[in-house]
Structure 1
Amino acid sequence: MSTSPTDADPGAEPSRSGTGGEPDAGSPSAPQVTVHRQPVVDPDSVVRGYAFHLAIRTARAQSLRGLDPELLVHGEYDRLDLGALTGGLRAFVRATSGMLTGRRPLPQPAGGLVLEVPAAFTARPDASGHLARLRAQGVGLALSDYRPGGYGDALLDVVDLVKVDLGRGSLVATQAVRRAHAAGRAVVAERVDSEAAVTFCRRQSVELMQGPLFPRDTTATARELSAGQLQCLELMQLLSAEPVDSDAVVAMVGSDPELSMRVLRLVNLSTFAVRRTIDSVPQAVVLAGPRHLATLAMTSLLEARTSAVADLWFVLARALACRALAGHDGAYTVGLLSAVAGQLRIDPAELVARTGVSPDVRDSLSHGGGPWGPVLTAVLAHEADDAPGVEATGLSPVAVSDAYLDAVGGAFETATSLAGRS
């Protein structure tokens, strides 16, 4: 189905025309909701929460006339497990007017909730009263897309955070950050998707940044890899060979105590459904298989620690989403290598050269070609909340959104185990 985004603001009052009822999700013309999730990190790149944005999409030449956008949004939040999608951290949720006025129940994620107040709501004469009530109840509040000189100025005293969209330009963003700081409010910068944006935030002493965990336009610089990292790349070379030399793989895994412990921990996860505890490295290598061993190699390459769960979660989610959309382990490798290159701030071509992956993986990773390049491009666009970028690949934003959410859910247990968290 060809789709286009709608500009319907779920924070505005719902339309009362028509029935306003829940549409039939199975209908070809039914509006679709895509879910976007981005990390919110502090200046040390530690993830402090996850922001969620729900976009309503309709078939071309159609609109939401006669439908209630809030019902679509609330229905989706009712289905989402925000606790699982945040890993116990705070959930930043774009609020509807129903949430802000008390007409609709609020999500209750275990890590806490921050309601983002849309600009349309700040113009209401009763906005201050509703926000004061919510704040008294312990609900976190953030002004969304704040710009000085608007209605939001009068609400700075009743919110906890101010969100500033860097996409509006450095001049507007600088003024907004300074005004928020002058009022004693912490700032969350949105669209932090480049090294230049990160630099801007640090210069302006921005407290939190929202965007893809690894910037899309990172300028790669040459760097020296440790002996342990080089060994991980050698393992990837073995796993990329046709056929795989199983004895050589077992020998290399067994020569690294940390890697041996990780592969044993991995195969004893409940997801492998083994009937007894596996304590033999050769047996664990066979049970894990090439794809999971590649994940272990990349995890060790990142020198994962308990504090790196969010990084690993992000890496695995990208890899699993690519695999789900393409239906092939080659796409998993493409997603995995692209995320690791972003984390290490090195050119993907360097990983390609050192790991000896297939030409299909190389072409897909290097310039978006090959059989899995469009899938990787679509997943990167989804991570950046770039619906037009997803559509440009020929993939459905809804399909990419669904695949990514499933991947997020499936990656958390593996990420926590690989990072050494019990």
Structure 2
Amino acid sequence: MPETTSTARAGASIHRQPIVHPDRSVFAYAVRGRVLGPDGVPLPEASAEHLVDAAYSLIDPDLVAGTRPLVVRATRRLLADPTPFLGAPHGLTLELPPTLVAEADVRAHLGALAEADVRVALADYTASPEQDALLPHVQLVKVDAAADPAVLADLVARAVQSGTVVIAERATTRERVQVALDVGAELLQGPLVLNNGPTTADRAWGVSEIQCLELLRLLSEDAVDQREVIRVVQTDPVLTVRVLHLVNSSAMGVRNKVDSVRQAVVLLGPRHLGALATASLVGATPASMEALWYLLTRAYACGGLAGDDVGYTVGLLSAVSSYLRVPAANVVADTGVSSDVADALLHRTGRYGPVLAAVLAHEANDADGVRATGLDEYEVAHAYLDAVPRALALASNLAAAA
């Protein structure tokens, strides 16, 4: 696990969240940059734009957004010239923070953006006079799902009346989601795995699912028992087919076809095997690829911060618990994982607890939550962004192998 470092950084951390429909299917991915001051508090956007622009220049729209539109928090430079993101293959939306809305020449830029087929969103909508003046010229509006319900209802009504689509940000609890939908928000921004309904404590696992959980348990050990892993894979026809399909795919780069489960297990390694087990649990189909991408991103981020495969498995088990709405206590009991893994999943303590807590807080855009873990927000954001393209590649391969 990395050592705690200062929260003061000279660069911008990039934050990415899904924007989803009420059924949690992905509409787009939102990206923004944030720069922390020496006290760990984010600097005002206007004073840190040059660092955000530098971070934006390193982003590949294809790898960040996949097959969905990209929504980017605008800077002055990006508002004047969105060229760095015009290559987004499925459309670009620039969201204007209040500081840019107040700029004198903002309407001239909106005309140029329309000609470039770039949509515009109002960020942090509070019905200020400057924002209301732009409502006829934008397509989307972002409101805070944590606002007082009466205030939220008024803001949504204003935006809807102008013909815009409303996105409720900070939709991080079921209560916020329900209130936002009740008052008319059409889209939600927050953790993708926030499913409807309570957790299911009495869920019965199928035979194949039990095999997948057993595989995840084996992969959570510091010293993985290769023979037991091979045995579990060989005794499950679905896992056997997927292991062989993945190892023989072009993504793995093997020269000769592999027909042996034993050889395939060795070639794939713990992380690919854990992803296969997760894909079997959540349903790795092209339709579910977006969800699998999100879950694997959590796993890769945890593994990157922890520096080992056990951290990766902690992320996988946390993702499975969230996505299937099974209490973490049930996952721990049904897998029989080690105390290190159990402490992380149940209490966010032990060797891997702070790593998991930091990644979950980052997914919720909870900067205070990340800092409370003792990990550096910049490092967490960097690990998460690094995880995004790796998870996309693996999720695409697994969905194709389904």
Q: What TM-score do the two structures reach when normalised by structure 2?
A: 0.89
Structure 1 residue 231: Cα displacement: 3.2
Q: Say yes or no: does 1:91 pair with 2:70.
A: yes
Structure 1 residue 89: Cα displacement: 1.6
Q: Which moved more, 1:258-267 or 1:48-57?
A: 258-267
* CA deviation profile, 1:364-387 (whole Å, cap 9, x unmatched): 111011101011111111111122
Which residue does 1:315 correspond to in 2? 295
Instruction: Give the conservation status (yes or no) of the 8 Å contact 1:141–1:159.
Output: yes
Measured in 2, the distance between the counterparts of 1:316 and 1:61 equals 28
Q: Say yes or no: does 1:69 pair with 2:73.
A: no
Structure 1 residue 329: Cα displacement: 1.7
Which residue does 2:188 correspond to in 1? 209
Distance 1:64 1:48, change over 3 A: closer
Instruction: Give the conservation status (yes or no) of the 8 Å contact 1:164–1:188.
Output: yes
Q: Say yes or no: does 1:131 pair with 2:135.
A: no
Which residue does 1:3 correspond to in 2? 7
Q: Which moved more, 1:224-233 or 1:403-412?
A: 224-233
Structure 2 spans left out of the alignment, 5+ residues: none
Which residue does 1:390 correspond to in 2? 370
Measured in 1, the distance between the counterparts of 2:266 and 2:141 equals 51
Q: Which moved more, 1:214-223 or 1:114-123?
A: 214-223
Instruction: Give the conservation status (yes or no) of the 8 Å contact 1:240–1:355.
Output: no
Measured in 2, the distance between the counterparts of 1:241 and 1:398 equals 29
Paired residue for 1:324, among 280, 304, 328? 304
Measured in 2, the distance between the counterparts of 1:394 and 1:263 equals 38
Structure 1 residue 122: Cα displacement: 2.1
Structure 1 residue 116: Cα displacement: 0.0
Distance 1:382 1:133, change over 3 A: same
One-letter amino acid matched to 2:398? L
Measured in 1, the distance between the counterparts of 2:378 and 2:324 equals 30
* CA deviation profile, 1:73-99 (whole Å, cap 9, x unmatched): 221111111221111321110111232
Q: How does 1:1-400 map to 2 (within 5 A)?
A: 2-3=6-7, 31-60=10-39, 69-100=48-79, 102=80, 105-108=83-86, 109-215=88-194, 219-227=198-206, 228-239=208-219, 246=226, 249-269=229-249, 272-400=252-380
Instruction: Give the conservation status (yes or no) of the 8 Å contact 2:220–2:314.
Output: no
Measured in 2, the distance between the counterparts of 1:395 and 1:404 equals 13
Q: Which moved more, 1:391-400 or 1:286-295?
A: 286-295
* CA deviation profile, 1:326-351 (whole Å, cap 9, x unmatched): 11222111111111111011111111
Distance 1:218 1:396, change over 3 A: farther
Q: What TM-score do the two structures reach when normalised by structure 1?
A: 0.85
Structure 1 residue 285: Cα displacement: 2.3
Measured in 2, the distance between the counterparts of 1:68 and 1:350 equals 47
Measured in 1, the distance between the counterparts of 2:204 and 2:337 equals 19
Measured in 1, the distance between the counterparts of 2:181 and 2:401 equals 31
Instruction: Give the conservation status (yes or no) of the 8 Å contact 2:34–2:43.
Output: no
Measured in 2, the distance between the counterparts of 1:120 and 1:240 equals 47
Structure 1 residue 104: Cα displacement: 6.3
Measured in 2, the distance between the counterparts of 1:319 and 1:241 equals 16
Which residue does 1:10 correspond to in 2? none
Structure with the larger RCO, 1 or 2 (CA within 8 Å, 6+ apart)? 2
Partner SS for 1:57: coil
Structure 1 residue 237: Cα displacement: 4.2
- Say how many residue pairs are matched: 395
Which residue does 2:381 correspond to in 1? 401
Measured in 2, the distance between the counterparts of 1:188 and 1:304 equals 28
Q: Which moved more, 1:254-263 or 1:345-354?
A: 254-263
Q: Cα RMSD over matched residues?
A: 2.7
One-letter amino acid matched to 1:377? A
Distance 1:240 1:164, change over 3 A: closer
